[in-house]
Amino acid sequence: MANERTKSDQTPSSAPPLSDEPPDDGLVRPGPYERLIDRAAKLPWWAIILVIVAAAVLYSMLSSVAYRRVIQRLTDDPQTSTTDLFEVVQIVGSPTMVVGRYVGETSDSVETIIDILLADVIDNETVTHSGFILAETPAAITLRVGDEAITVLKSQIVSEERTEDRDGTQITLSYIDRVTVTGVLTEQNDDTMKIRTVDEISQTFAAARILSRETQTIPCDKEADPNCQDRELVTIQRQGEILDGTLRTLSATNLNIRLPDGTSREIRQSDVEYLYVPTLTIAVNQSRAGAPVQPGEEVRVAFVEGTDITKALDELNASESIPVPLRYVEGEARVALVAYPDLDSALRAVGANEVSGMVYLDSGPNRMAVQEWLAANANSGVVLPTPPRECIRDCAVTVKLIDDEIGGRVLSENADDITIVTTEAEYVVIDKDKILDNRRMEPGLCALNNLRGCNAGIFLTLRVTFSAYGLALVFGLIFGLLRVQTNPVLYAISTLYVEVVRGIPLLVILLYAGFVVSPWLRDNTPLRLGDEQEAVMGLAFGYGAFVAEIFRAGIQSISRGQMEAARSLGMSYPEAMRYVVLPQAVRVVLPPLGNDFIAMLKDSALISVLALPDLLQLGRLYVSRTYRAFEGYNTVAFLYLLMTLFLSSMVRIIERRTRLPK
């Protein structure tokens, strides 16, 4: 009995049998294929397909020269790094003391007195805006120091001391000579600023264009700087640039061509040595020039083999005549095209009336060959009914610029290209203690280490969107709170704003902000709104009404008992709203606020009507210059899609993290 009890204790009756087969419980279990299908069905295929398509499109864009160029344009072409930190205008100066004999000084004139009266006594704003204040020669004091006369502006004088003696009046002046320094801030520390006042200018051109070259060595001052190095300057006579492209415009003074890389170039006619443009010349036999063509008559027309006209006649069979309807009489004539080996034989055939006329088309050096032949053969019996016709748009041309000379320092050189620095950069280091007035300090070149200088394209779109939506949240919260008040005046004001603004198209609001509100503020108040500020105010004011309704719905979704419980604990209404109701309402309104933010990002394209260089405006400008609408608008749409997808992902993450527990 003991042994049996031990066995039963060691082997529980509930233990499963040791077997690889699934238990036979009557349930049908899915196989590996069904499990694979089930897992595949749960995958977010829309996201996977979108990522694959986006990656393929992005790769095709980055591998295309045209797409890379438009992407650089739409992203403000940021550099990897830059030293051009700020564009600055600084007024600097240091005190200077001078002692001399009094010579004279300018004094207030009647005109100055009237200006002061108008500016200070009557109405400064009216006078200034109307342009009544006139610029006058500034007041100054003239001293004689030895044999030299020094004139000091009174506005620069810090202190003045006069003493009388038998030789006249002696004046001791302490003044600050103001100097304006304009340039690009490249380096700064706690004490100094390094400003580039003259930019380096360089040119890169093909080494094959060099006709002659002279090198000159400029020795440096070893005594002043023992570590200096001699400079080598070159003077290069170079062949004029030869450009092949498509003619866009042609006038007596300028021509514009579109180059193969998609860019355009404006060229002055005075810089052109020769222009090879397709030119069509029609020559006829002198006796046939005015004779009418009869219906059914055959007109023999010559052309020169091997010239450009043969390309236009490739589809025609020169051995057969071609029917041509007549303009002035009913019926048609027939044209027989006759080929000649050279221009001379063709024109002589026209003069001998073997053929009635000829057509000649050439885009090279011989494009005016018919005119030249007629000048040399005045009695040939051939005339030109009209002057040679030059193509004036959308045709292939070759432009040769005149030879020129360039000089400077060789920056780099290889077998193909040479880069010459024609103007050296110049720098000024100023002490910050000597800065009298920081007149201007604006962000410099757009670069990854200087993003404050990125003020166009996608950067402007994002900045305007974030700024406008932040302001719209303020508008929406204020009017949303007013919409749940029992005070009839506050409720009426907020409802009026919401209903009116939601009933006006956002484009109209932007135009109103840019061309009505901003000019009125400029003319009647000290406020001056820039183009970007106008866009931010218009977007924020328009979207504030929609955000107000979102906040109102979120606040009213919170149970009234929450407010009553907070008030019963001794909280005031603002405290209860701040600490109890709003924290709960914010979680409720986050999804619609995120959707509104994405909608504002897309609607920010409307600010292009205010001439702001946002993403869409730069795309339109690129298309207008290059006529590449497909690449331009494709890239604009793709960049907007990338931004909205990224922001949608961020909104989903925020929603998950702030979701109320079930």
DSSP secondary-structure letter at 43? S
> 415-439: per-residue pLDDT in tens?
899 999 999 999 999 999 889 888 8
Please report the pLDDT score of residue 399 as a whole number.
Answer: 93
d(CA 629, CA 638): 14
d(CA 506, CA 464): 15
For the sheet with 264-268, list strands across it: 264-268, 254-258, 242-250, 396-401, 272-276
d(CA 516, CA 529): 12
> 89-121: per-residue pLDDT in tens?
998 988 888 888 888 887 766 766 776 677 666
Q: Which domains does the chain have, with CATH numbers?
A: 94-177 (no CATH), 181-239+403-430 (no CATH), 275-399 (3.40.190.10), 451-658 (1.10.3720.10)
247 with 391: CB under 8 angstroms?
A: yes
d(CA 561, CA 578): 15
- Residue 250 CB partners (closer than 8 Å, separation 6+): 256, 277, 390, 392, 393
Nearest to 636 by CA among 656, 651, 652, 614: 614
Kindly report the length of the chain.
662
What is the per-residue DSSP string for 349-402? HHHTTSSSEEEEEE-STTTTHHHHHHHH-TTSSEE-SS--EE--SSSEEEEEEP
257: alpha, beta or left? (left if phi > 0; alpha if psi -120 to 50): beta
Confidence of residue 8 (pLDDT cuts 50, 70, 90): very low
Q: Which residue would you say has higher pLDDT here, 503 or 70?
A: 503
Which residues share a beta bridge with 384? none
d(CA 443, CA 154): 34
Residue 224 dihedral angles phi and psi, to the nearest 5°: -75, -40
> 201-224: per-residue pLDDT in tens?
999 999 999 999 999 988 887 777
Q: Which residue has the tokens 């990224």?
A: 646
Confidence of residue 128 (pLDDT cuts 50, 70, 90): low
> 589-598: per-residue pLDDT in tens?
888 898 899 9
Which residues share a beta bridge with 185? 86, 195
| 401 to 150, 252, 269, 270, 279: CA distances (angstroms) | 52, 16, 9, 9, 20
Other Cβ atoms closer than 10 A to 542: 26
> 46-59: per-residue pLDDT in tens?
777 877 877 877 77
DSSP secondary-structure letter at 661? P
141 with 157: CB under 8 angstroms?
A: yes
Instruction: For residues 403-410, give the mean pLDDT.
Output: 92
DSSP secondary-structure letter at 11? S
Please report the pLDDT score of residue 137 as a whole number.
Answer: 67
